[in-house]
Structure 1
Amino acid sequence: MTDQVLVERRGDVLVLTLNRPDRLNAAPPAMFVALREALADLGGARAVLIQGQGRAFCSGADVAGVALGGDDPGAAVQAALTDGYNPALLAIADLSVPVVSAVRGAAAGIGCSLALAADFCVASDTAYFLQAFVNIGLVPDGGATWMLPRLIGRSRAYEMMMLGERVSAVQAHDWGLVHQVVHDDMLDARALALAERLAAGPTVALGLMRRAVHRAMESDYPTALTAEAAAQRAALGSDDGKEGAQAFLQKRSPTFTGR
């Protein structure tokens, strides 16, 4: 695995750190391949935290060496997205555990998509979110055209994509893009604390929740109700579901084990 992504276990949290601080963590396809590989085997981790080394989360894709020198840069970028970037984002969507992103500085282009692919995005007051593709005659990628209208509505999604202006952390919070904005010196601790809180929760139920939400965004109301009922049955069949029911009956706090 490339050293462009640092992999660390902190208790029950798998911490993945984008590690090109000299380039503001601009991401070549290999970085996202490494992310996908790190997520392929959680090794018992019950939550994932994605962060950037240095003063930026991720300043966007770095495909200059891959595409711009070739005869068909469009085909090269399409291949980089299809084979490198998109599989990592799909791997995040398919996880059975919750995901937190910690964003300071730039979350631009594919970095914006990566940050917002998490279930909870905790942003430093230095953070900003940017879809700058229009400024160079390109279109958003990394799932931005699917994600942004669902998070903030069509009008604000167009504002980000068609005007190509920075959205500050405070504005992003007001719009509902991010979960929380904190002072920069508190970002690492707050994001890890949130990941640890999620890791201590009922892992099976949390995984069922995130998958149900993904499906519900693409289905009608009756289908969502049916899916919820099936998920509830699965949650109650888990060890944590049984523990939660016993704790409720015994009027005590449950102790979840992630099974």
Structure 2
Amino acid sequence: MGGDSELAVTVEDGVALLEMRRPPANHFDEALIGRIVDAATALDDDPGCRAILLAAQGRHFCAGADFGGGEFATDHVAAAERLYRRAARLFDVRTPIVAAVHGTAVGGGLGLACAADFRVAEATTRFVANFARLGFHAGFGLSVTLPELIGRQRATDMMLTARRVGGEEAFRIGLADRLAEPGRVRETARALALQIAAAAPRAVRSMRATLRGDLAARVRAALDHELAEQRAHWATRDSAEGIAASLARRTPVFTGE
């Protein structure tokens, strides 16, 4: 299929590879998320595609939004509004998605990973809900997807502490569905996608829809709430401090203001 310079799309043996190409960290914005959503939606109607493999070039799977440059650096609220409108459609995709998560999935990048049906990691992979260290509410529907995957208590732990969860722990708690050997994340993820692609496609989509239930509607409601909270938090000194500290790679000092 081809895609473009920032998202390559290829289909082979019933598996479509969507490869993000914004190395090293694959920061996203509305444009990149839109490309992913549009490609995945088109693949829903491609009889040659039975599973989607979401992967990335560079050192990290995805570091979320870039607050040091691009649209998020100038107007957080407007950028997030546009992004979330596009991201919500990802949960309407009917084809199963497997995410090959190498390096780090942080912030909105964790949200993107959790939008997939399955996540494949290795021991060195890191999953980070870093929002509390940035001074604002979690986003990208994580208020719904993360508790769905690992339970409310573990999700609360990740969100309130902003700690890094390594690949082995992620596999143990259900955040990762497969733990690959070092350097074989994409290969292992593709093997899982091929297993799905080998099954009866109508049955797979039907069971997936049954199991997901009203997930898309709940994520949309969560996105509205998350954005409202983020809008309020981005006006605070703590948020300005958290973002500045992150960009400067220093420890933030929060005052509650």
Normalised by the shorter chain, which TM-score bucket?
A: 0.7 to 0.9
The one-letter amino acid of 2:78's match is: A
| Separation of aligned partners in 1, 2:102 and 2:85 | 27
- The residue that corresponds to 1:26 in the other structure is 27
Structure 1, unpaired ranges of 5+:
219-259
- The residue that corresponds to 1:132 in the other structure is 130
Find the structure with the greater CA-based Rg.
Answer: 1
1:14 is displaced (CA, Å) by 0.7
Q: Report Cα offsets for 1:218-253 as digits up to 9, x if no partner.
A: 9xxxxxxxxxxxxxxxxxxxxxxxxxxxxxxxxxxx
- Label 1:94 to 1:83 Cα distance change in 2 as closer, same or farther (>3 A): closer
- The residue that corresponds to 2:175 in the other structure is 177
Q: Report Cα offsets for 1:140-178 as digits up to 9, x if no partner.
A: 111101111122122111111111111111111111111
The one-letter amino acid of 1:55's match is: R
Q: Report Cα offsets for 1:91-124 as digits up to 9, x if no partner.
A: 3x32332211111111111111111222221112
| TM-score, length basis structure 2 | 0.76
| TM-score, length basis structure 1 | 0.76
| Separation of aligned partners in 2, 1:53 and 1:78 | 24
| Separation of aligned partners in 2, 1:101 and 1:75 | 27
- The residue that corresponds to 2:85 in the other structure is 83
1:55 is displaced (CA, Å) by 2.1
- The residue that corresponds to 1:54 in the other structure is 58
| Separation of aligned partners in 2, 1:184 and 1:80 | 37
Tell me if structure 1 keeps the 8 A contact 2:61–2:102: yes
Root-mean-square deviation over aligned CA pairs: 2.0
- The residue that corresponds to 1:16 in the other structure is 18
The partner residue of 1:205 within 203, 206, 218 is: 203
1:13 is displaced (CA, Å) by 0.6
Q: Report Cα offsets for 1:71-99 as digits up to 9, x if no partner.
A: xx343233233334x23xx33x3233221
- The residue that corresponds to 1:238 in the other structure is none
| Separation of aligned partners in 2, 1:123 and 1:98 | 17
Structure 2, unpaired ranges of 5+:
217-257
Q: Secondary structure at the match of 2:70?
A: helix
The partner residue of 1:66 within 68, 71, 82 is: 71
1:2 is displaced (CA, Å) by 4.5
Tell me if structure 2 keeps the 8 A contact 1:104–1:127: yes
Identity within the alignment, %: 33
Matched, 1:6 2:8: yes
> How many residue pairs end up in the alignment?
211
Tell me if structure 1 keeps the 8 A contact 2:102–2:125: yes
Tell me if structure 2 keeps the 8 A contact 1:97–1:203: no
1:217 is displaced (CA, Å) by 6.7
- Label 1:81 to 1:217 Cα distance change in 2 as closer, same or farther (>3 A): closer
Q: Secondary structure at the match of 1:184?
A: coil
Tell me if structure 1 keeps the 8 A contact 2:41–2:93: no
| Separation of aligned partners in 2, 1:147 and 1:36 | 17
- Label 1:217 to 1:62 Cα distance change in 2 as closer, same or farther (>3 A): closer
| Separation of aligned partners in 1, 2:185 and 2:202 | 27
